[in-house]
Amino acid sequence: MSQHSNILTFEISQGIIDGLSTTRIVQRIQGILDACEWDDATVDAVPSDCLYSAHTMLMQKDGLYGVSHDQLKRFIQNITLEYNLNPVGFN
């Protein structure tokens, strides 16, 4: 699953840097996983996986991935609202 984590981390950070919407970041990750022939369950779980990955990124040094903690917090807030995710345990 390391490859999966690397894809998520890279696409979240680069998507934020490029000013993409949360929805577009999720769509790009789903497209990559789909093109790599990952199973449908994994592709469908991308929004919740992004929440988990962004939270993990938030626990690292500010700016480590090229984005600030504030940017990651906004991403987490947006993905939680847009995909109706429960962020319990991520606060």
The boundaries of the domain holding residue 53 are: 2-80
Residue 12 within a domain: yes
Q: Please give the full DSSP string across the chain, using - where no structure is assigned.
A: -HHHHHHHHHHHHHHHHTT--HHHHHHHHHHHHHHTT--HHHHHTHHHHHHHHHHHHHTS-TTTTSS-HHHHHHHHHHHHHHTT---TT--
Number of domains in the chain: 1
Residue 91 within a domain: no
Residue 85 within a domain: no
Per-residue confidence (pLDDT) for residue 87, from 0 to 100: 73
Tens-digit pLDDT profile for residues 18-61: 999 999 999 999 999 999 999 999 999 999 999 999 999 999 99
pLDDT exceeds cutoff 90 at 86: no
pTM: 0.93
Token pair for residue 30? 């789903």
Cβ atoms within 10 Å, residue 65:
20
Residue 86 within a domain: no
